A and B are shown apart, each in its own frame.
Chain A
Amino acid sequence: MKVYEKSHSFYEVFERKSGPAKEATHYCPGCGHGNVHKMIAEALEDMELTSRTVLVSPVGCSVFAYYYFDCGNTQAAHGRAPAVATGVKRANPDSIVISYQGDGDLAAIGTAETIHAANRGENITVFFINNAIYGMTGGQMAPTTMLGQRSTTTPLGRQEHVHGNPIRMCEMLSTLPAPTYIERVAVGDSKHVMKTRKAIRKALKIQAEGKGYSFVEILSPCPTGWKMDPTVARDWLMDEMTKVFPLGVFKDESDNVDEGSWDREFKPFDTDQVNAYLDRLKTSMTEGAQVTLKEDLHCKFAGFGGQGILTLGLFLSQIGMRAGQQVSWFPAYGPEMRGGTANCSVNLSNERIGSPLVDEPNVLVVMNQPSLDAFEKTVPDGGLIIVDTTIVQGKPDTDRLNAVMIPASKIADEVGTPKIANVVILGALVAATGAFTPEYCMETLRSVIKKKNLVEMNMEAFRRGYDFVKNQ
């Protein structure tokens, strides 16, 4: 015995629907949404997918799809259903996610979401109800309204040079490599209704098998918006709409795609796994003795990009961190960095650090002339200024400031490469401030320098900078 009746994937009574008539839909007589709903519900039931289905309903007449489908329902903002569907599917690849959308939703306000979900090959199914009009808001022009078709915002009919042409989503989407299945069908006469039923089932099967993105555009009548009797609307759908929106399969890779090939991995939260991972993010530095600073260091390091200015700041910061001090490092960021100059502010303190910005550095390193010109005056009297004399021609005010004039780039070049002038400077800085012992710093550098073959060269550079100051 064969019984055609209301699918069990529908609620028995539509309790979420307001008002009376809780067993009837809110759709107008002859509306195509109901047909499509019935065929989706039937497919979900037959394929035993209902209880793991999430139906994402759009804004438009089908905003209330959640009244009817007895599955998980998530209602989305206008046009955003494919993004919402992505958020659901990625976080539960075993779910069956349907993005059910009308033409305004999918092909106007949500065009970007539509195209990009398709382009990512989201393993979701999109059912696109194209009725060439905005139904819910009162019969305005849709992106799919046909030329000459009257609507409340095209009272004289849609005109190409004023309103643009009806947009063909299947054709557009089928240019993308990722989608697995794209077909346009119509709920017109019986033959095409049954073709629609087949397409709906196929699309859901593709998703259930992990074969990727499926998109079924369904030409559907809106007798109210079109101001036609339901039977006339079905005829007009087949006679006129299909001329602009030709029916057929635009893309079908379902036989060429392996099952599960579009399934994505998702692991739920596992504290052991996360803690093991977070362990790896911890510093590679060995434990070091606490060091109390005689005086807080408020440093400004400045020079050209590529001189290792920011790294100099990082090295000093990491020494401070190992020594149990409060540390902050702040780079000049953004377009400044792309202009070829670089500077950073570094604070090392025994106490909590206030401003991470260093306006008045008690240690200034300058590795180019503009930095000397810009920052020398910001150093308070008696402050330390370290100048790379290989590069900087000018002289700071040695009456006012404690100056270390060191040919850091030249020394670095002798050691192996001018790129480690910053480490020479670091050695000089440590010697001039007496903040740490050289051994403490070198031990720290050993554990933070990632390229182990460069460690010894850096040790040498540090030592040369340190000795340069100590031997003065």
Chain B
Amino acid sequence: MAKQFMKGNDAIIVGALAAGCRAYYGYPITPASEIAHAAALHFPALGGVFIQAESEVAAINMVYGTAGMGIRTMTASSSPGFSLKQEGLSYCAGAELPLVVVNIDRGGPGLGNIAPEQADYFQVTKGGGHGNYRLITLAPNGAQEMCDLTMKAFDLADKYRNPACIMADGITGQMMEVVEIPEAKPVPYDHTAWAVDGTPATSKNLISSIVLEPSELEEHNLKLDAKYREIMANEALCEEYRTEDADLIVVAYGVISRIVYSTVDQARAEGLKVGLLRPITLWPFPSEAIAAHAERDMRFLAVELSTGQMVEDVRLAVGGKAPVDFYGRCGGMVPEGAELMNQYRQLMEGVVRS
């Protein structure tokens, strides 16, 4: 069989190998460590690089070095470690380096706990470091997507010369599912024009994020901004389930989208016309898909493992045209289906049932 039963965290590395990632730099942290374990096993076996760095900061800067060569490279961590990587990510975005960073989001703020949360949404999607930049952010909700979206993240990173992020939660990282093992294909990008890889072909190139002249730095920022607008126009992705006629569209990503998915049919059986809209890209946010529904008489409910972060993007997308409510749990608490059903019932009180 071309399949394997594996953890989401392991599936990330399978996707990375198939995508041609050749170097992994990381630092241990629960609940992301399995990614490093898998990398430590597989990368050297293929003649690639695995280094357990002295810090998260060092790890992202090793990534900066390899990414600057135009070679596919990655790092992974969980919330507190991801915070430490922000400096490096800002430099990578400024120098326009393609790379993949994984954040297996855990409970915060501070040391928090190791249970699943989605409270790093702002940090991930709004540019967690300094300066005008964005991370292309993909949010898998199962092991197969951990693999497939990692591959996609490498492609998007190369296509736009920008860091791409896999944002997942501890449950999606720890759970095992059936994964179709992908096929490795050649990387269709040539980075000789800008990379610095220690060969004569690239010896005239420069990897840098410093632009001293204000006019030139403005120009650089505007160039980045144009790139970000192009990404927003072309790359937003979401999945919809029974939204066409829904009176209530629940917007949820990652593991919560799975729990919401479980409740949609159940709600429909009760006569509540509920649908699910699952952002697959968190940045760019699927605003257009959301806004399209707001043209009719309906309402939205954002469900997150946070005190309300993605809901702000839903509200921006809707622009006041439909009510947007929020339900969240945090600290590692994960709502059960029955809990969400109660929310639906309360919100839809008075709505005529079909």
Question: How far apart are the CA atoms of A269 and B61 in the complex, in Å?
Answer: 21
Instruction: Given the known inter-chain contacts A52-B198, A86-B51, A267-B46, please indicate yes or no for A91 contacting B4, CB distance below 8 A.
Output: no
Residue of B nearest to A92 (CB): B198
Bitwise interface map of B from 198 to 215 toward A, beta carbon under 8 Å scored 1, else 0: 111011111111101100
Contact across chains for A74 and B207 when beta carbons are under 8 A apart: yes
Bitwise interface map of B from 39 to 68 toward A, beta carbon under 8 Å scored 1, else 0: 000100111110101110111011111111
Residue of B nearest to A265 (CB): B47
Interfacial residues of chain B within 220-275, with CB under 8 A of chain A in the complex:
255, 258-263
Contact across chains for A327 and B48 when beta carbons are under 8 A apart: no
Contact across chains for A87 and B61 when beta carbons are under 8 A apart: yes
Interface size on A, residues (CB 8 A): 77
Contact across chains for A91 and B71 when beta carbons are under 8 A apart: yes
How many contacts A-B (CB < 8 Å)? 260
User: Using Cβ atoms and an 8 Å threshold, which residues of chain B touch A76?
Assistant: 61, 64-65, 91
Question: How far apart are the CA atoms of A33 and B208 in the complex, in Å?
Answer: 20
Does chain B have a CB within 8 A of A359? yes
Does chain B have a CB within 8 A of A450? no
Contact across chains for B258 and A113 when beta carbons are under 8 A apart: no
Contact across chains for A266 and B49 when beta carbons are under 8 A apart: yes
Does chain B have a CB within 8 A of A22? no
Contact across chains for A92 and B69 when beta carbons are under 8 A apart: yes
User: Using Cβ atoms and an 8 Å threshold, which residues of chain B touch A335?
Assistant: 114
Question: How far apart are the CA atoms of A265 and B142 in the complex, in Å?
Answer: 34
Question: How far apart are the CA atoms of A216 and B181 in the complex, in Å?
Answer: 48
Contact of B197 among A92, A314, A359 (CB under 8 A): A92
Question: How far apart are the CA atoms of A75 and B211 in the complex, in Å?
Answer: 11
Contact across chains for A283 and B5 when beta carbons are under 8 A apart: yes
Instruction: Given the known inter-chain contacts A267-B47, A359-B336, please indicate yes or no for A83 contacting B65, CB distance below 8 A.
Output: yes
Does chain B have a CB within 8 A of A281? yes
User: Using Cβ atoms and an 8 Å threshold, which residues of chain B touch A269?
Assistant: 20, 22, 72, 184, 186-187
Contact across chains for B186 and A72 when beta carbons are under 8 A apart: no
Interface core residue of B31, B54, B115 (most chain A CB under 10 Å): B54
Interfacial residues of chain A within 372-428, with CB under 8 A of chain B in the complex:
none
Does chain B have a CB within 8 A of A353? yes
Contact of A84 among B2, B61, B185, B197 (CB under 8 A): B61
Interfacial residues of chain A within 311-365, with CB under 8 A of chain B in the complex:
314, 317-318, 321-322, 326-331, 333-335, 352-357, 359
Does chain B have a CB within 8 A of A20? no
Question: How far apart are the CA atoms of A86 and B51 in the complex, in Å?
Answer: 9
Residue of B nearest to A116 (CB): B54
Contact across chains for B258 and A356 when beta carbons are under 8 A apart: yes
User: Using Cβ atoms and an 8 Å threshold, which residues of chain A touch B66?
Assistant: 87-88, 90-91
Instruction: Given the known inter-chain contacts A75-B209, A269-B72, please indicate yes or no for A314 contacting B176, CB distance below 8 A.
Output: yes
User: Using Cβ atoms and an 8 Å threshold, which residues of chain B touch A71?
Assistant: 203
Contact of A287 among B1, B62, B338 (CB under 8 A): B1
Least CB distance, B239 to chain A, in whole angstroms: 11
Residue of B nearest to A56 (CB): B65
Contact across chains for A331 and B174 when beta carbons are under 8 A apart: yes
Tell me the A residues contacting B by CB distance below 8 Å. 16, 18, 50-54, 56, 63, 66, 70-77, 80, 83-92, 94-97, 112-113, 115-116, 120, 264-269, 271, 273-275, 277-279, 281-283, 285, 287, 314, 317-318, 321-322, 326-331, 333-335, 352-357, 359
**A-B CB contact pairs (8 Å), 19 listed:** A71-B203, A73-B196, A74-B68, A87-B25, A88-B196, A90-B23, A113-B54, A265-B47, A268-B22, A268-B71, A273-B47, A327-B178, A328-B142, A328-B177, A330-B171, A354-B337, A356-B142, A356-B258, A357-B336
Rank and list the top 3 A-B pairs by shortest CB-CB distance, nearest first: A87-B65, A95-B198, A354-B262
